[in-house]
């Protein structure tokens, strides 16, 4: 009898078990990744923190400035309805601080979306005011002279609160419409003052302002053509139109400067259209057209002679831009761009009071500016994996010239720049490039002010003749998969010519180094360092009576900064990390030849040192506890306000050395 072999069904279980042992881990990881995408994690974090000292710089924009306890609260909620593809999002940040925000969004993918967001940001002045001024916070204030240091202390503060509503609807056939509305209020007080015959007096500007912004955008996305057009509007309203100051001085020729006008209401409107078209897979054009009108017709607080009630301000702006990119050959890429912008100030020019001197003719000053900028660039791949990039940039600016001026001015400036860059992959682990730019700016003839008849123009920085040379070096090194290093270095030289007085010469250097290193799968380190140094020489003249005394300044600015960071896992439950940051800023004035004590102006330094540490312990898969520690040290020798007093005895001061430590403990619960 022939013997047969039967295949039992249980054998499939053995095979399945074997396959599961081989592929089960990978399949589980894939499933977990899919789950994360379709069901993102939600979490709630709550806890408390303690700040050791009173420090304004540490919490200037968060309110974390006074020693004591603070609440920690953050919420992230995400939920998806698989049946309809609808998302629900809710997040809240810094619920225990003044700088908090809350956002709610509801979206059906590919159909519609809407949301609302609330945010609040304070700003505390870094200075403490010692003053006798009465009425701070109101639009009527009384100057009360005090002896220096005998007033009351006050730290001024402003606070912004905003609500933003957004919405989007997909209309089909590549069309969609978006709407955005933002309403933001700003309240509080900030440093202010007035200058009279008897000196400078301290005031506090009362702020009660509302800013509104509206965006309506209609978009189209096609296979080759993309368009986006819409309307943008901004509206500014100031509930405090003026500031009245008492007491008034006596005498027919005294200008009391009261009431003082505060920022007037204004609004702006813009229509625009942007788009792009792909002629071929390697050739694409883009453009933008915009037209805007800004107006200011808020009534004057006091009608001007002869009875004009408002500025009737109007500025019309026209913008045209077009660009083209192409790759006509595999090794050649081309780029061209042109932009035209005309800011036409149509505000009527009127005389608002009788002229008082040769430098004050009482006419308002319209500021129109027309600019044309263009750029062409070519990139070509050379043998040996070299790529050369060359380009030409051109900028022309034309501005109106006012008849009465305190400085020299010119109507037109032109700047032409040539640049070349060479890139190459220096190996499998090293890429580098070096570039050079030469720019030359000149313009129309300078027009000298009659009040300062010196030989030759005194040219302001932005319109002075200038020749600039700049060299840039970039290196990207990755010697191993775990290590990456980037180096950037800039060196530039400015030569200002054609002016007897004014800017003479400028130099600047900037070097930065960034590195990241994966010590292992569980540990990563990063570091960065930068150094920037700039210098500019300036020649000027001081007139005492009819005598002009020349003097010069060699202004230097130096900034150094570095940081180190470490992140890692001690084991399956503990995550730890820390950062250390340092920055130092120094300004030197280098005055010489000045016949006053100002020639001895000392340098100004700012230094910041910050250490941040954290540790997170996973108690369960959905529950963890986090520990945070921050130590912050800030110092300065800024002398600007230390020796100054207003004529009413008001002084401003700040702590020149501030340090604090913040310790926080919080629990985090997460779910899917």
Cα Rg of the chain, angstroms: 32
Terminal Cα distance for the chain, rounded: 63
pLDDT, position 29: 53
Q: What are phi and psi of 37, to 5 degrees?
A: -75, -45
Split the chain (672 residues) into runs of 10 and give each run's mean pLDDT.
40 41 50 64 96 93 94 94 90 94 94 96 95 94 93 96 97 95 97 81 96 97 96 96 80 66 96 97 97 95 77 96 96 97 93 73 87 97 92 94 71 95 86 95 79 58 90 93 94 83 88 96 96 90 73 90 96 95 93 67 93 96 96 92 87 93 96 90
Closest CA to 191 of 182, 200, 179, 181: 200
pLDDT, position 400: 86
Find out whether 672 and 35 touch, Cβ atoms under 8 Å.
yes
Burial of 188 (0-12, 13-18, 19+ CB in 10 A): buried
The span from the CA of 123 to the CA of 101, in Å, is 15
- In the three-class reduction of DSSP (H, G, I as helix; E, B as strand; rest coil), residue 348 is classed as coil
pLDDT, position 200: 87
pLDDT, position 533: 96
Find out whether 258 and 245 touch, Cβ atoms under 8 Å.
yes
Find out whether 512 and 488 touch, Cβ atoms under 8 Å.
yes
Instruction: Report helix, strand and coil shares of the chain as percent, to nearest 5.
Output: 5, 65, 30
β pairing state of 501-518 and 523-544: antiparallel
The span from the CA of 527 to the CA of 520, in Å, is 16
Closest CA to 439 of 461, 416, 462, 421: 416
């Amino acid at each position: 009898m022939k013997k047969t072999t039967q295949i039992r069904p249980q054998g499939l279980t053995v095979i399945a078990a074997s396959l599961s042992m081989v592929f089960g881990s990978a399949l589980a990881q894939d499933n977990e990744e899919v789950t994360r995408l379709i069901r993102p994690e939600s979490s709630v974090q709550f806890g408390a923190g303690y700040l050791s000292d009173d420090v304004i710089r540490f919490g200037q924009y968060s309110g974390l400035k006074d020693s004591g306890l603070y609440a920690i609260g953050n919420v992230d909620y995400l939920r998806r309805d698989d049946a309809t593809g609808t998302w629900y999002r809710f997040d809240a940040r810094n619920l225990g601080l003044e700088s908090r925000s809350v956002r709610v969004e509801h979206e059906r993918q590919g159909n519609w979306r809407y949301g609302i967001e609330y945010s609040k940001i304070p700003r505390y002045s870094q200075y403490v005011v010692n003053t006798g001024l009465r009425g701070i916070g109101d639009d009527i204030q009384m100057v009360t002279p005090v002896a220096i240091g005998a007033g009351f202390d006050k730290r001024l503060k402003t606070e912004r609160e905003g609500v933003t509503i957004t919405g989007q609807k997909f209309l089909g056939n590549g069309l969609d419409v978006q709407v955005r509305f933002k309403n933001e209020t700003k309240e509080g007080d900030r440093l202010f003052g007035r200058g009279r015959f008897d000196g400078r007096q301290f005031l506090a500007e009362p702020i009660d302002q509302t800013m509104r912004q509206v965006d309506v955008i209609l978009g189209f996305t096609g296979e080759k053509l993309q368009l986006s057009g819409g309307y943008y509007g901004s509206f500014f309203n100031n509930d405090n139109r003026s500031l009245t100051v008492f007491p008034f001085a006596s005498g027919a020729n005294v200008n009391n400067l009261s009431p003082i006008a505060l920022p007037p209401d204004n609004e702006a409107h813009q229509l625009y259209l942007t788009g792009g078209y792909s002629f071929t897979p390697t050739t694409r054009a883009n453009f933008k057209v915009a037209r805007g009108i800004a107006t200011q017709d808020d009534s004057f607080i006091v009608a001007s002679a002869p009875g004009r009630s408002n500025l009737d301000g109007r500025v019309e702006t026209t913008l045209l831009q077009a660009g083209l990119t192409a790759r006509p050959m595999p090794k050649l890429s081309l780029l061209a761009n042109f932009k035209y912008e005309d800011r036409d100030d149509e505000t009527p020019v009127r005389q608002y009071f009788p002229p008082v001197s040769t430098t004050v003719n009482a006419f308002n000053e319209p500021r129109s500016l027309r600019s044309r900028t263009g750029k062409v660039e070519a990139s070509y791949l050379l043998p040996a994996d070299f790529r050369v990039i060359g380009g030409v940039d051109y900028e022309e600016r034309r501005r109106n010239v006012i008849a009465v001026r305190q400085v020299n001015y010119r109507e037109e400036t032109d700047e032409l720049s040539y640049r070349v860059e060479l890139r190459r992959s220096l190996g499998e682990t090293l890429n580098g490039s070096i570039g050079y730019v030469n720019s030359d700016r000149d313009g129309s003839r300078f027009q000298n002010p009659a009040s300062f008849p010196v030989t030759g123009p005194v040219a302001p920085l932005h319109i002075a003749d200038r020749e600039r040379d700049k060299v840039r070096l970039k290196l990207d090194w990755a010697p191993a998969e775990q290590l990456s290093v980037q180096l950037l270095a800039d060196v530039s030289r400015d030569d200002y010519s054609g002016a007897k007085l004014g800017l003479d010469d400028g130099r600047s250097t900037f070097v930065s180094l960034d590195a990241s290193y994966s010590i292992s799968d569980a540990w990563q380190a990063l570091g960065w360092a930068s150094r920037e140094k700039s210098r500019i020489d300036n020649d000027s003249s001081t007139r005492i009576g009819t005598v002009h005394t020349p003097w010069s300044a060699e202004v230097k600015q130096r900034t150094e900064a570095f940081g180190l960071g470490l992140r890692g896992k001690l084991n399956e439950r503990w995550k730890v990390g820390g950062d250390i940051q340092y920055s130092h800023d120094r300004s030197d004035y280098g005055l010489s030849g000045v016949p006053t004590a100002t020639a001895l102006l000392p340098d100004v330094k700012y230094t910041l040192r910050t250490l941040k540490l954290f540790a997170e312990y996973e108690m369960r898969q959905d529950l963890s506890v986090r520990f945070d520690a921050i130590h912050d040290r800030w110092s300065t020798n800024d002398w600007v306000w230390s020796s100054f007093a207003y004529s009413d005895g008001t002084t401003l001061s700040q702590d020149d050395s501030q340090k604090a430590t913040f310790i926080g403990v919080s629990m985090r619960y997460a779910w899917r």
